[in-house]
Amino acid sequence: MLLFINKIITLILVPIYMCPFLPFVHVAKLFNLPSELISLSENGVGSAEDPIYLTAHRGVWAVAPQNSLPSYEAAVELGYYTAECDIHLTEDNEWVLIHNSEAESQFCQFGEVSDYTLEELKTFSYRDGKNFWKYEDLRIATLDEYLDVFVGTETRPQIEIKSDTYDMLYTVVEAVEEKGLTEQAIVISFDLGQLQKIHELNSDIELWYLIDEITPENIAAAKAVDENMWLSPNFEKNDKESIQLAVDAGVGVSFWTVNTVEEAKMLYDMGIRYIETDILCN
């Protein structure tokens, strides 16, 4: 039944929604105008000699739909250090980029991503996202398509594993290896076991452990898997005391999601040089 409903949406409702002679897309445009990026350097945070290294959270979705190829192309063009994506598995075990597991979180169609094949998902249309109407025939991106954006660039792909799989993690490693991005890519997850599996498959891929609060236990758990593993903590869940734990331990750390100059400056003054952001740029 859901497949039938989605076909109706694709064939009838999407053309109506996108029709320039009807009001629907014009109303959507008002809520999806691009946002102006805020420059840290222009606000006195960081320097050419001692910069902040920025991750574009879900791509530069201030100017293009999140987790879309244009948002990552913008990250490369703007010189971000890394550009983070979220990946889920389709029904036919293909990795695609979307933050939530539900298609309707970003597309006109409905249903769990894992209930559709890649071919079916490639028919889904974006319903929102910055400037979504400007990208003709924009469709959900695959992991391979995402990685292609970074080949031959200095921006690092940062891949967050969203599906709760262990068996298919080897395909992430293979994709990174086949693109020649082993030393450039970063894999991140809230599931330390997934990071352990990635480490076993290829110990040269850099790993970041997503956490809420920095604790001695989290630091120890990460180091037990890989001495060089980074922490990627939730900025809102930490105070100066917990941030100092990471600084004192000498562990690599990159905070998410930092969206004001004041927050970035506070972290910079504490010695933090890596942050993830929706709106800041260098």
pLDDT tens figures, 6-30: 999 999 999 999 999 999 999 999 9
Distance between CA atoms of residues 172 and 240, nearest Å:
35
**Whether the Cβ atoms of residue 155 and residue 185 lie closer than 8 Å to each other:** no
Position 260 scores a pLDDT of: 97
* Other Cβ atoms closer than 10 A to 200: 12
Q: What does the mean pLDDT of the chain come to?
A: 96
**Whether the Cβ atoms of residue 242 and residue 214 lie closer than 8 Å to each other:** yes
CA proximity to 214, closest of 261, 249, 188? 249
Which CATH number is 223's domain given? 3.20.20.190
Position 107 scores a pLDDT of: 97
Mean pLDDT for 83-107 is 97
Task: For residue 200, give both structure tokens.
Answer: 């076993």
CA proximity to 229, closest of 204, 213, 207? 207
Mean pLDDT for 115-124 is 97
198: left (phi over 0), alpha (psi -120 to 50) or beta: alpha
Task: For residue 147, give both structure tokens.
Answer: 């990685």
Residues in the chain: 282
Does 103 score more than 90 pLDDT?
Answer: yes
Structurally, the chain folds into a number of domains equal to 1
Cα separations (Å) of 207 from 193, 200, 203, 240? Answer: 12, 12, 9, 24
List the Cα angle 225/230/233 in 5-degree steps.
115
- Type of residue numbered 199: H
> Does residue 238 lie in a domain region?
yes
> Does residue 10 lie in a domain region?
no
> Does residue 13 lie in a domain region?
no
Distance between CA atoms of residues 1 and 110, nearest Å:
11
pTM score, whole prediction: 0.96
Distance between CA atoms of residues 65 and 188, nearest Å:
21
> Does residue 20 lie in a domain region?
no
Q: Tokens 């450039």 — which residue?
A: 184
> Does residue 245 lie in a domain region?
yes
Position 182 scores a pLDDT of: 98
pLDDT category of residue 136 using cuts at 50, 70 and 90: confident
Q: Tokens 């890596």 — which residue?
A: 274
> pLDDT tens digits, residue range 174-209?
999 999 999 999 999 999 999 999 999 999 999 999
Distance between CA atoms of residues 42 and 47, nearest Å:
10
Position 113 scores a pLDDT of: 97
- Type of residue numbered 111: G
> Does residue 8 lie in a domain region?
no
Position 98 scores a pLDDT of: 98
> pLDDT tens digits, residue range 147-171?
999 999 999 999 999 999 999 999 9
Burial class for 247, CB neighbours closer than 10 Å (0-12, 13-18, 19+): middle
Q: Tokens 């400056």 — which residue?
A: 265
Q: Tokens 């320039």 — which residue?
A: 20
> Does residue 124 lie in a domain region?
yes
Domain that holds residue 112: 35-281
> Does residue 4 lie in a domain region?
no
